């Protein structure tokens, strides 16, 4: 497996889902729902969409120019934990 500089944030909220997104601008991966501005919706075609209510960005169309992208759970292994996580035991 190639070494990566990606960072994974580990949230503190209880969730029934394990859906992760990557912010492509800062390369941080985090669980959807750990931020109060997260919104998940299903479009009329039954596709899951993520939208950040604070900055107006998301991943809805699969267009590579979108700010966020969904991350398959198996891709999380081997990534670094966000250093901010370590500061809040």
pLDDT digits (tens, 9 = 90+) for 23-69: 999 988 888 988 899 999 998 989 899 999 999 999 987 788 899 99
What pLDDT was estimated at residue 27? 87
Please check the confidence at residue 80 and state whether its pLDDT lies above 60. no
**Distance, C-alpha 71 to centroid of its chain:** 7
What pLDDT was estimated at residue 1? 46
Please check the confidence at residue 73 and state whether its pLDDT lies above 50. yes
Please check the confidence at residue 15 and state whether its pLDDT lies above 70. no
- Cα distance between residue 34 and residue 12, in whole Å: 7
**Eight-class DSSP state of 8:** E
What pLDDT was estimated at residue 56? 92
From the list 46, 48, 42, 21, the residue with the least C-alpha distance to 33 is: 21
Domain coordinates of the chain in residue numbers?
7-82
* 27 neighbors 41 (Cβ within 8 angstroms): no
The token duo for 59 is 């991943």
Please check the confidence at residue 9 and state whether its pLDDT lies above 70. no
């Amino acid at each position: 497996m190639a070494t990566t500089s990606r960072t994974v944030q580990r949230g503190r909220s209880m969730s029934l889902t394990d859906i992760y997104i990557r912010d492509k601008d800062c390369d941080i991966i985090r669980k959807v729902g750990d931020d109060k501005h997260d919104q998940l919706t299903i479009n009329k075609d039954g596709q899951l969409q993520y939208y950040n209510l604070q900055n107006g960005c998301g991943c809805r169309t699969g267009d590579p120019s979108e700010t966020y992208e969904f991350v398959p759970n198996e891709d999380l292994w081997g990534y670094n934990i966000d250093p901010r996580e370590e500061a809040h035991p």
